A and B are shown apart, each in its own frame.
Chain A
């Protein structure tokens, strides 16, 4: 799968390059033919369902496991033969893996000691790291005396202390509850900006990837399905898999037809959708059309529109999710911003559906 953003000509600005990396566990191929360039200072998210090979790829970059085929380049140097401690990649594990028998300060100091840094210098860095992750008051505590979020910050500080060229995060927020997660996401993003450190984050949470990353690589079954900015991934998914995995997608079956300069889709469930520039598939024929729930609007029911019956409305804080049934029984979700008062449709209401003007619609070959 190729990138939608043009490949960077200036090789020196690519901090990490994966060149046709493949990994097999016995006979099972966990990661297949991965081609990926991560730019200096970039925040890249590896997004994909469980078991698609994200952790494997991250461990290969860190040097904790050796790929079966292909090469890894970090900072312009091929590092395939280098052990983890000589690669300049720092990894934060999902379980944090803090040393339970050491205090917070000793954990942070660990990598500096291993590098034989003099004591005075170490103390300065530990102090700075503690301040950076706001853990100064807890320097003398042991990991088991910390909350999940605090442990996570210590793990981050421990890795950042050795100034890695690349920061690798494996599901860093997986163990945190929802509120804490949001706080930590903001904090990590702030640190990453401040330090300008090249970062690769593994996650299976699409909101996390969309919110934090400069670019996202969506993975499926060991391959990269699509690489692009969050907008590209969300608005112009290149495959049904991406459309489904990232965000929620309504799928309509139909026939793509040419109408002079423009296109239209005659939907199987009735109704017609006008499209200026269908993609990624623009060949007339049977297609699936994917529309985000927030890109649909209610219109008065008429002959040309998609007609549906409201089954229920779910007011979820700032938005209201409607579930509707098309005339052929297919379900459709529509999300509306909540605008004060009781602004949603009652169950049983018959309504027409249209795509909001200018909203992206993806067309896939059926």
Chain B
């Protein structure tokens, strides 16, 4: 009843399907090219000039940045900040995600609301909230003084620790959501098998659940890291300019000093550093997975 296949029909079919797939991707690809690749290329172009009027092409902006201890210090501080924020979010986020995965569905609803709530308000609003919380007349200080732990309001705002804590709170959903996803995908029978083979809850967690959730942890860490090193508003407002980070440095050079080529070079260096870290961590993880996941 089915007509005999015409030679070449399959090829035509496949080609048209391929075409359809391309057509589906096209709008996104155009958007990506126009608003991501284009500006990036422009940025690279600007950074490769010695002067503000973009007449003399050279690598001086890069050599200037890399040859100066102050600049390298800013880069180091930024990457180090990202690491501290990532570790803190992991420390808070993993237990939270685990709690979510073992909760009944009603509690899961409540927890999910708490987890994504930060995403529903803008980073600027959340940052100002932290200013209110940590200020000299802020909630934390008033509380500590009232309890008698401090005699005088302490300086909490504009400290490196404040930046880390505020960023960790703001980036937390990026850590928790991937881990929740991966925990939900673990066959519950694995836990039960481990228990019935004689392992306790801790061993089961360390030997079975934790290794199997590694991909989610990796995704969460990379997201939080990339996002926190470039969090201009929070770094600047909560940090109060006490310590310079790369995003503010770019802003300062571009807007205040009007040195666009140098600002562009700083941006390219930040981008390259983060990219290098992400790629390295991914490669290491893949090699690890050879050990962990076979």
Contact = CB atoms under 8 A, between A and B. Distances in A.
Nearest to B188: A97
Nearest to B201: A83
Contacts of A185: none
A110 B206 CA distance: 13
A178 interface: no
A80 to B, nearest CB: 16
Contacts of B193: 91, 93, 97, 99, 158
Interface string A69-98: 000000000000001110001110101010
B20 interface: no
Interface string A60-72: 0011100000000
Contact of A162 (B197, B203, B212, B294): B197
A160 to B, nearest CB: 11
A145 B293 CA distance: 12
B196 to A, nearest CB: 4
B195 interface: yes
B208 interface: yes
A143 to B, nearest CB: 8
Contacts of B187: 95, 97
Given A100-B212, A101-B292, A114 B192 contact: no
Interface in A103-134: 103, 110-111, 114-115
Interface in A156-198: 158-159, 162
A85 B195 contact: yes
A114 B197 contact: yes
Nearest to A90: B196
Interface in B269-294: 292-294
A158 B196 CA distance: 11
A114 B292 contact: no
Interface in A26-46: none
Given A101-B211, A101-B212, A159 B192 contact: no
Interface string A298-316: 0000000000000000000
Given A114-B203, A142-B294, A99 B196 contact: no
A110 B208 CA distance: 10
B198 A100 contact: no
A162 B195 CA distance: 12
A244 interface: no
Nearest to B211: A101
Interface string A327-339: 0000000000000
B125 interface: no
B198 A111 contact: yes
Contacts of B194: 99, 110, 114
Given A64-B192, A97-B192, A115 B198 contact: yes
Interface string B167-204: 00000000000000000000101101111111110010
A20 interface: no
Interface residues on B, range: 20 to 34
A91 to B, nearest CB: 5
A37 B211 CA distance: 41
A97 B196 CA distance: 12
Nearest to B212: A101
Given A103-B294, A144-B294, A90 B197 contact: yes
A111 B212 contact: no
A241 to B, nearest CB: 30
A111 B194 CA distance: 8
A64 B198 CA distance: 12
A85 B198 contact: yes
- Among B192, B193, B211, the one with the most A-chain Cβ atoms within 10 Å of its Cβ is B193
Contacts of A162: 197-198
A220 to B, nearest CB: 26
Given A95-B189, A99-B208, A159 B292 contact: no
B294 A85 contact: no
B199 A97 contact: no
Contacts of B192: 64, 84, 91, 93, 97
Contacts of A97: 187, 189-190, 192-193
B216 to A, nearest CB: 14
Contacts of B200: 85, 114
A312 to B, nearest CB: 25
A101 B196 contact: no
B190 A114 contact: no
A218 B126 CA distance: 62
A135 to B, nearest CB: 16
A114 B199 CA distance: 5
B289 to A, nearest CB: 9
23 contacts: A62-B196, A64-B196, A84-B192, A84-B195, A84-B196, A85-B197, A89-B196, A90-B196, A91-B193, A93-B193, A95-B187, A95-B189, A97-B189, A97-B190, A99-B193, A99-B208, A101-B292, A101-B293, A102-B294, A111-B197, A114-B200, A158-B197, A162-B197
Interface of A: 62-64, 83-85, 89-91, 93, 95, 97, 99-103, 110-111, 114-115, 142, 144-145, 158-159, 162
> What are the 10 closest A-B residue pairs judged by CB atoms, nearest first?
A142-B294, A111-B197, A97-B189, A114-B199, A97-B193, A114-B198, A84-B196, A85-B198, A84-B195, A93-B189
Given A84-B195, A90-B197, A91-B196, 20 more contacts: A83-B195, A84-B192, A85-B196, A85-B198, A89-B196, A93-B189, A95-B187, A97-B187, A99-B193, A99-B194, A101-B212, A101-B293, A103-B294, A110-B194, A111-B197, A111-B199, A114-B198, A114-B203, A158-B193, A162-B198
